[in-house]
Amino acid sequence: MTEYIPHIPSDSTESDSIAASLQRLSKKIQLISDAVKALHQDRSQLETKIEDAQKRIQHILSRLPEQSDGRQLNLLGEPATPTNPEDDNEPTTH
């Protein structure tokens, strides 16, 4: 078996180069770490929005009439416009 002998830089230029590379890598790792944290926060916010939307949809669906019920339901809660008896007539062709 051969023994591992670490490379010891022979001059300060090589050592400075390695130190500069390590510093650049450290900065890049920090940027990546910050980006990952931001992505986790965004995902959490989106999951909350999805849950809220699902609750709103479920609330709307719970207000729907039964399938056997022939009445209409105003899901938006806006006042219904009265229908004119004239509108019940079938359209005529000219």
Residue 25, pLDDT score: 97
Answer whether residue 90 shows pLDDT above 80: no
DSSP string, 21-80: HHHHHHHHHHHHHHHHHHHHHHHHHHHHHHHHHHHHHHHHHHTSPPTT------TT-PPP
List the domain range (segments joined by +) for residue 45: 35-61
Q: Please indicate, yes or no, if residue 57 is contained in any of the structural domains.
A: yes
Q: Please indicate, yes or no, if residue 54 is contained in any of the structural domains.
A: yes
Closest CA to 63 of 54, 71, 73: 73
How many domains does the structure of the chain reveal? 1
Q: What is the mean pLDDT of residues 11-17?
A: 81
Work out the end-to-end distance of the chain between its first and last CA atoms, rounded to an integer number of angstroms.
102
Residue 29, pLDDT score: 97
In the three-class reduction of DSSP (H, G, I as helix; E, B as strand; rest coil), residue 90 is classed as coil
**Cα–Cα distance measured from residue 45 to residue 51, given in angstroms and rounded to the nearest whole number:** 10
Q: Please indicate, yes or no, if residue 74 is contained in any of the structural domains.
A: no
Q: Please indicate, yes or no, if residue 41 is contained in any of the structural domains.
A: yes
Q: Please indicate, yes or no, if residue 40 is contained in any of the structural domains.
A: yes
Q: What is the mean pLDDT of residues 34-60?
A: 97
Q: Please indicate, yes or no, if residue 68 is contained in any of the structural domains.
A: no
